[in-house]
Amino acid sequence: MGKSTGFIEIERQNDSEITPIERLKHWREFKIHGDEQHRRDQASRCMDCGTPFCHTGHIVAGMASGCPIHNLIPEWNDLIFHGRWREALARLHKTNNFPEFTGRVCPAPCEGSCVLGVIQPPVTIKNNECAIIDHAWENGWITPKIPAKRTNKKVAVVGSGPAGLACADQLNQAGHNVTVFEREDRIGGLLMYGIPNMKLAKDEVVSRRVNLMRDEGVAFLTGIHIGTDRKWTPARLRGEFDAVVLCCGATLARELPIEGRDASGVHLAMDFLTTNTRHQLDHSFDGSNPLLNAANKDVVVIGGGDTGTDCVATSLRHGCKSVTQLEILPQPPRDRASDNPWPEWPKIQTVDYGQAEAAAIQGSDPRHYLTQTHRFLKDPDGNLTGLEIASIEWEKDDQGRQMPVEQPGTRRTIPAQLALLALGFLGPEQTLVNQFSLETDMRSNVKSQFGQFTTNLPGVFAAGDMRRGQSLVVWAIHEGRGVARECDRFLMGGTHLP
């Protein structure tokens, strides 16, 4: 590395942020890159560690360890340190089609397996990645790369989330004629409607990349729901295209079938987030709220993870009266537990942007752990008024399974006029699966072997969350690149795609 003692001399320093109180006044991104010297200093902390676990992308103890798309992290950290930004960009784009997405929303398993993280805070890998691509856009280095030769092979990609876009980008660069079908009114899937604008800007970041792909030759069709659209049927897709790639995500939300679920005011988290983002885009972020909003309401978010955090942050920007987040799992430790060693993903307590904002407004973290919801309370008109909850502990049953056990005397009620269910996803919606007559696995995902991505139908491939289940944006990009490679091999008899 360029500075072999950087990790000794320089402390980790994350990108700065607009303060919670200030950023709650708008829907813009709030992360601020440091100047070039700051970035070079942080890149210099990357060690000459011999075996860089940061880009291994293994599954360890059921979790990602290292970068799933095998970003060449030590190489572009070294190039940043030497101020060779264009070369850093070239190395970054060798493995990642959309570093501006992962640099903003990836939980950074690379940092969890950083060798420096064994003894010190890890390298700011995610911040460095985002700085490279943002620097490139700002300097006009990102320009259309139009394939010099076309194969005249036609590929339909269904779904425009990160897997679908990565697949389309790769296949287009291989010279195929790619058409992406999206059921929503805008391209981007989860990137467009599942992640709030303050974490991933839509016009400035997502649409910018989509427009570049359009300039490079990818065709995008919106408002077409394959599986229910009478014009674009599965049979027509298979008849008009040489191959079909399904990247439709795992969008079937997990429900909470308890008493009072039918109360007016209980909604799935993704419905809440999608409605909000669509309204903000349609109204140019003018400060108005959508019909489904949290203004002047006591909000309870049931579930954690990124979706729960996004619901907290969105509710605060609507002007909610209060926000509470309920999690059934115990509070994670501040440091790695003995059964969670490096290079596993560190299961430790963190404060994400939504919780930091709630604490700034309410004076404390909104999360309540080891809490189970028993029923939704409603008034005579069917409107949600509160939740009945209880504290639990996890205990083993007769078969050794961990089960939640209610603690005596802990039943209580809390006020709520809006409850948001952020409980994860069960798998892909089955309408399209059934229309294609696709085989599924025990978890209802499309049966498609990793590394091949083929389904039971010749010329039909599946990738992303639709194949592997709910996962990270970076895994979706990995799958999109992988399925593009196998689709290209199917079409041409061989492939040069990485």
Chain segment 177-209, per-residue pLDDT in tens: 999 999 999 999 999 999 999 999 999 999 999
- CB 330, CB 373: distance < 8 Å: no
CATH class, range 154-252+426-492:
alpha beta
Q: Is 154-252+426-492's fold the same as 255-423's?
A: yes
- Within 10 Å of residue 361's Cβ, how many Cβ atoms? 15
pTM over 0.85: yes
pLDDT of residue 237: 97
- CB 261, CB 379: distance < 8 Å: no
**How does DSSP classify residue 332?**
P
The amino acid that residue 24 corresponds to is L
pLDDT of residue 3: 84
* Positions of the chain with pLDDT under 70: 1-2
- Cα distance between the two ends of the chain: 26
The domain ranges of the chain are 6-138, 154-252+426-492, 255-423
pLDDT of residue 48: 85
pLDDT of residue 1: 66
- For the packed helices 305-318 and 353-362, what is the interaxial angle rounded to 10 degrees? 40
User: Which superfamily does CATH assign the domain made up of 255-423 to?
Assistant: FAD/NAD(P)-binding domain (3.50.50.60)
Helix intervals (H) in 72-224: 73-81, 85-93, 99-105, 109-112, 125-138, 162-173, 207-215
Kindly state the tokens that stand for 47.
Answer: 């060690």
The CATH classification number of 6-138 equals 1.10.1060.10
pLDDT of residue 353: 97
The amino acid that residue 116 corresponds to is L
